[in-house]
Amino acid sequence: MSDREEEKRANGVSRKTILRAAMIVPAVPLLASVPALARTPSGQPLAATPENCDADDLTPPQTEGPYFKPGSPLRTSIADGPGTALTVTGYVVGLSCQPIAGALLDFWQCDNGGNYDNVGTRFRGHQLTDTQGKYFLTSIVPGLYPGRTRHIHVKVQAPGKPILTTQLYFPNEPRNSTDTIFDPALLMNVQIVGSGRQATFDFVLNIQGTPPSPSPTPTKTTSPSPTPPSGGTWAPYVAYALGAQVTYAGLSYVCQIAHTSLPGWEPPNTPALWRRV
Ligand SMILES: [Fe+2]
């Protein structure tokens, strides 16, 4: 069975998807089909959380396809080869537009030649949203492979909630109109900035509107960090190894998953990464 056939079988194209696809008109209207909450005209990182998060705005699921691998590294950059620089930013929110802190996003894509790394972890990585529910991915524009339009795969999981598996798409791609897996509800807003691309997309999960619990439950394992355990005060942008001990706000924590820290990943916000000792 070909990759495309496998993806189509798993996907089970919905009536809603077909109706959405039927609404697509090439060129400018493609941008018009981008969900309103995914747009930022400047193309800069989002300044505010989405304002419309009704049931109709739920991010639709899609097949994971044949190339998902568990155990991706915890990192925000998956740019592991040449290509057009790409950033993707946005929020993970629930049905009341409440930001979801500590949500897990696991991205994977092909390289610029259309090939997936099915042996290693190139162009694969997972991260957690910060306390505002924001994520930030650095990558390259993925290439094309037979039968599919340009896309990025992603799994999104609010702490303790079911995993949403879906894909993100690029506007104005010729193959969008022939790829039956394509869903315009999953179009990113993409801006050309210099020689690169800046994209935004907000994920709306089917979670009712209570404030998020800062208890991320990543399901992935990470590669060992070369950085040995270290003490001192927690800080962002530090590669912490498994077993590293830090202090934060007068409390001590031990690292449970090797990772490079980011703003918003303070130990009290990321109990999956840090355990009180
Ligand atoms: Fe794919």
Pairing of strands 239-240, 104-108: unpaired
Distance 65 CA to ligand 1 centre (A): 6
Distance from the CA of 142 to the center of ligand 1, in angstroms? 9
pTM: 0.65
For residues 56-77, give the mean pLDDT: 96
Which pLDDT belongs to residue 49? Answer: 74
Task: Check whether 24 has a pLDDT greater than 80.
Answer: no
In DSSP terms, which residues pair with 108 in a beta bridge?
124, 153
Q: Which tokens hold the place of 195?
A: 């020689």
The secondary structure of residue 9, as a DSSP letter, is H
The neighbour count for residue 122, using CB atoms within 10 Å, is 18
Residue 232 or residue 108, greater confidence:
108
Residues around ligand 1, an ion, CB closer than 5 A: 65
Residue 44, pLDDT above cutoff 60: no
How far away, in angstroms, is 66 Cα from ligand 1 center?
Answer: 8
Q: State in Å: Cα 75 to ligand 1 middle.
A: 20
Ligand 1 centroid vs 155 CA: distance in angstroms?
Answer: 13
pLDDT at 150 over 50: yes
Q: Give the confidence band of 62 by pLDDT, cuts at 50, 70, 90.
A: very high
Set out the domains of the chain in order of their start, with CATH numbers: 3-204 (2.60.130.10), 239-276 (no CATH)
pLDDT class for 35, splitting at 50, 70, 90? Answer: very low
pLDDT of residue 260: 66
Could you tell me the sign of the dihedral formed by the alpha carbons of 127, 129, 131, 136, in that order?
A: positive
pLDDT given for residue 235 in this prediction: 83
Main-chain dihedrals φ then ψ at residue 169, nearest 5 degrees = -125, 165
Cα of 111 vs centre of ligand 1, distance in Å, is 11
Mean local confidence (pLDDT), 152-166: 97
* C-alpha 110 – ligand 1 centre gap (Å): 7
